[in-house]
Amino acid sequence: MSPANTVRAYVPLTDRSLRAAWPHLTEALGFAPDVRPGSLRGEELEEAEWIALSTAAEVVLDTAVEQRCGRVVLACDLPADLRSRPVSAGVVALGPAALDPACVVSAHIDDPALVAALPDDPAAAADALRDGGLLWYDVSEIDELVEALGQE
């Protein structure tokens, strides 16, 4: 698939769901900037992608807090022709679709040390995850990441 036929999207998971399913992710829902592919460049594109990534992280927040686990957001190049629907200002949801591991370009996860120290209060735990940010991992590190997450 050529880059012209793809859109960078962000697929939210929990670390548990990633461990359980990787590399066979089905019914993945991606969040992407609501712009025509190629219409943004530079800082405008980075900001639009950051908003989409943040939306994906927020979508899985309640589940992560309920399960007392970390959030994972996979950055993927998904087919541009996937069914989409608006979810918030500037962001669309793409899919759901099976996720080919070859389309994953990076992973963003909550710091496992932060997750291990989450407060018992759900609102405080959600705030801690939001404030903690996400750690970036290259696609070449995902198999090792999944293995490490399984050992915690």
DSSP string, 21-60: HTT-EEEEEEEEESS-TTS--HHHHHHHHHHHHHHHHHHT
pLDDT of residue 120: 96
pLDDT for position 38: 61
Q: Count CB neighbours of 7 within 10 A.
A: 23
pLDDT tens series, the chain, 152 aa:
445 688 899 999 999 999 999 988 888 899 999 866 566 677 887 888 899 999 999 999 999 999 999 999 999 998 888 888 888 888 999 988 888 899 999 999 999 999 999 999 999 999 999 999 899 999 999 999 998 887 66
For residue 95, the model assigns a pLDDT of: 86
The whole-number pLDDT of residue 89 equals 80
Backbone torsions φ then ψ of 65, nearest 5 degrees: -65, -45
Instruction: Write down the pLDDT at residue 2.
Output: 47
For the question of whether the overall pTM of this predicted structure is more than 0.75, the answer is yes
